[in-house]
Every structure is written in structure tokens, then in C-alpha cells.
Structure 1
Amino acid sequence: MKYVPSFIIKILFTTVALWFILGMFYGVSLGDILLISFILSTVAYLGDAFILPNVSNFWATIGDFGLAFVGIYLLGLIFIDRNIQLADDSLLSGIVIAACEIFFHRYMKRNVIEYEENQEISRSITIPQHKLQPEISKELDEEE
């Protein structure tokens, strides 16, 4: 259940970044921005949910920058009908999204990933040390 609010946060900051750069500066329609933002956020969030626990914030941010740059460029070729400098726009959008991702990864590690790890720990069974005792027995394979 912790994944839904963080996914909404990711969609919101991606949409705002794309609207600010593509919408305000280059006149891309809000429908195209929302569609690109949803697709890009979904793919990036899957990476954040499964890859982020295994890598550092730096490498996750570099990966998100690359994904944002390539994703915005390719999705822009498909969805944006205007004649704009898509490579420059994708680069600038990727930089802004990567800057936001630094803070988002901290939020994910603190509120989502650690929450899941704490849930796994609480489900494990612990036996207190004073309840354990060594076993003493004769060897079964000895002949008498």
C-alpha cells in the first residue's frame, strides 16, 4: 500500500517538469505531456521499486536520467506533432527529472523500502537465547 502514494508523487513531479519545459517553452499539448509522463513514470517507478534497493542513489539517478532522456526522446517522436528540437528538450527534461529523482530516491528508501524490510523482519520468528539448550546423545552408528 506504500507504493501508491509514492507512484502518485512520481507522476506529479514528472508531469510538472515536462509541463514546465515542454509545455511552457515549446507549446506541447497537455494531453501529450500527460501521456508521456504516465508512460515514463510507470517504467521508471518499476526500476525504482526493484533496482533502487540494490544500488546507490547516485547510480539510480544516473539510470533515471538516461531513461528520462531516451524515453522522452522516443515518446516525443511518437506523440508530439510539433516541430521542436526534441533532443535538446529531452536533455533538459532529463536533467530536471534527475534532479527531482535525487530527493524521490531518498523518500523511497526511507518510506517504502525500509517499510517493506521492517514488515519482513516483524514476520520472522525469533527464539530467545535462554530457551535453547545443546543436545546430548549417543552416536547411532556405534556398535555395542
Structure 2
Amino acid sequence: MRYMTALAIKFVMIAAVLWIVLGAIYGVSFGDIFAISLILTGLSFLADVYLLPVIENFGSTLADFGLALAGVWVLGGYLFEETIPLGTAALISALIIAVGEFFFHQYMENTVFEENGDRNSGEFRRKDENLQTEFGEDMDAPPQKPRTDKDDKI
């Protein structure tokens, strides 16, 4: 259920940004905005689930920026009937989405992923990184009896 809530939050965030930038400023139809939002949300959420535990918030935010920029630019070229400055629209959308993604990743780390890590992500996190190795004697060789002068004579 945590993943579904996070997915819904991400979709609403991306759709709202694209609706404001593409719809209100550039006059793109809601159907095109909805389609791009669905595709970007799906790809970006998969990247967040698998990459966020590995490359942390900053790297994942950069990846989401690149995905949003390329996604709006490429998909907009195929979907938009109007002629708009697609590079500028994609850049503005990607910048605003990246800012939202930075805070969304903090939400994911604090709420969605378990305290010790998400077992499906391949990365286990710990709140306390100051761990120390414990050494035991159970694998040591048995004690040797001390050598005497009698042992040297045959």
C-alpha cells in the first residue's frame, strides 16, 4: 500500500506540473498531458524504487531531471499537434519536476522504504552507520601445550 500511495503522489505531482507548464502556458491538450504524465510516472517510479537506494537522493534527482527532459521533449514531438518551443517547455517542466522529485525522494526514504532497507531493492540501509565488527574465539585453533626440552629429544 505504501508503494501505491507514493505512485499516486508522484503521478499527481508530475501531472500538475505538466498541466501548469504545458497546458496553461503553451496550450497543450489535457489528453496529451495525461499520456505524458502516465509514461513519465511509470518510468520514473521504477527508477526511484531501484536506483534511489543505490545512488541516493541527489543522483536520483538528476536521473529524474534527465528522464523528464527527454520524455517531454521526445513524447511532445510525437503527441503535440500545436507548434510550441518544445525544448524550452521540456526544460522548464524538467526543472520544476526535479525540484519536486528531491522532496519526493525524501518522502520515499522516510516512509516507503523500511527502516533497515527494502528487501526488494538490493540495498539494505541502517539508521546507525557506526557499526563495529565483533571478534570471537570460537574459530581459533585449539591451544598448543608449551614445548619442553624433553620434546626435542627422541
TM-score by length of 1: 0.80
Match of 2:33, as an amino acid? I
Tell me the equivalent position of 2:8: 8
Tell me the equivalent position of 1:60: 60
Q: CA offsets, 1:112-132, max 9 Å, x none?
A: 1135737899xxxxxxxxxxx
Q: Which has the higher contact order (CA 8 A, sep 6+)?
A: 1
SS of the aligned residue for 1:48 comes to: helix
SS of the aligned residue for 1:117 comes to: coil
SS of the aligned residue for 2:113 comes to: helix
SS of the aligned residue for 1:51 comes to: helix
Segments of 5+ residues of structure 2 without an aligned counterpart are 125-137, 140-154
Q: CA offsets, 1:91-112, max 9 Å, x none?
A: 0000000000010000000111
Segments of 5+ residues of structure 1 without an aligned counterpart are 122-133, 136-144
| 1-structure distance, mates of 2:98, 2:32 | 21
More helix by share: 1
Root-mean-square deviation (Å): 2.2
Matches within 5 A, 1:122-137: none
Matches within 5 A, 1:94-105: 94-105=94-105
SS of the aligned residue for 1:66 comes to: helix
Tell me the equivalent position of 1:27: 27
Tell me the equivalent position of 1:44: 44
Tell me the equivalent position of 1:112: 112
SS of the aligned residue for 1:83 comes to: coil
| 1-structure distance, mates of 2:115, 2:45 | 17
Looking at CA atoms only, which structure, 1 or 2, has the larger radius of gyration? 2
| 2-structure distance, mates of 1:102, 1:82 | 31
| 2-structure distance, mates of 1:115, 1:40 | 28
| 2-structure distance, mates of 1:102, 1:94 | 12
| 2-structure distance, mates of 1:32, 1:116 | 40
Tell me the equivalent position of 2:142: none
Deviation at 1:81, TM superposition (A): 0.8
Number of positions where the alignment pairs a residue of Structure 1 with one of Structure 2: 125
Deviation at 1:2, TM superposition (A): 1.2
